[in-house]
Amino acid sequence: MLTRKQLELLDFIQKRMDHDGVPPSFDEMKEALDLRSKSGIHRLITALEERGFIRRLAHRARAIEIVKLPEAMERSRAAAAAEPAAFTPRVIEGDRVDPPAGAMSVAAMHSMEVPVMGRIAAGVPIEAISEVSHHIAVPGSMLSGRGQHYALEVKGDSMIEAGINDGDIVVIREQSTAENGDIVVALVEGAEATLKRFRRKGGMIALEAANPAYETRMLPDHAVKVQGRLVGLIRSY
């Protein structure tokens, strides 16, 4: 038997998956259930998984699959499906979300071209960026301030709760320093490049993911070289 909160969460996940094709984020679950922190959601998710109602897939954002529903919820779902509903076309692609409220078309703005230097890992680090693959038009407002700029294609999902999806293009201002909380391109031990949130803790550097499936990496100061700071993001829909 499920508790009231467990039922509420399972019902919320099922309805969002029926409507959007993907599960809600942990922040959305927390708000829907009016909980103070995501730790409560983690406990509810674990309880639902242990009881066989859902299944989680490792190292994937929002990777929740509904295995079964309580009988009462199944009957309610079947009754709702039998009712005629107005057709609303929509496009669903993986974990991608609706455009932000302030999103603007690049074509409608003054833009400049910057080099795309290949891919950057938002997940397991990949090889360091070294070559220009092509150029991309970037709104001039993203390029304010001094310094050179370049762009990178994001590979992975470790920054998804910061609004950065697999396949996005991030615009980076080239610089070698960062403030705590900045999202940076970090070169790790001269061989691996990754996109993470930067925090200095004494003589150590924390490279934080924005996805609970990934752990924070703690590295000695000398092992991390900042190659640039995130100043913008471009997404195609």
CA angle 217, 223, 224 (to 5 degrees): 70
Q: Is residue 15 annotated as part of the catalytic site, yes or no?
A: no
In angstroms, the Cα distances linking 49 to 10, 12, 33, 210 are 11, 15, 18, 23
Q: Could you list the beta-strand ranges (E) of the chain.
A: 54-56, 64-66, 111-121, 126-127, 134-139, 149-155, 169-173, 183-188, 192-201, 204-208, 217-220, 224-234
CB 154 within 8 A of CB 164: yes
Q: Is residue 155 annotated as part of the catalytic site, yes or no?
A: no
Catalytic-labelled residue, pool 133, 155, 158, 225: 158
C-alpha of 188 from chain center: 21
Token pair for 65: 């699959």
Spatial distance between the Cα atoms of 201 and 217, rounded to a whole number of angstroms: 12
Sequence letter at residue 81: A
CB 212 within 8 A of CB 26: yes
Catalytic-labelled residue, pool 196, 201, 225, 236: 196
How many other C-beta atoms can be found within 10 angstroms of the C-beta atom of residue 43?
13
Q: Among all chains, which residue has been given the structure tokens 């950057």?
A: 120
Spatial distance between the Cα atoms of 54 and 16, rounded to a whole number of angstroms: 14
Active site residues: 158, 196
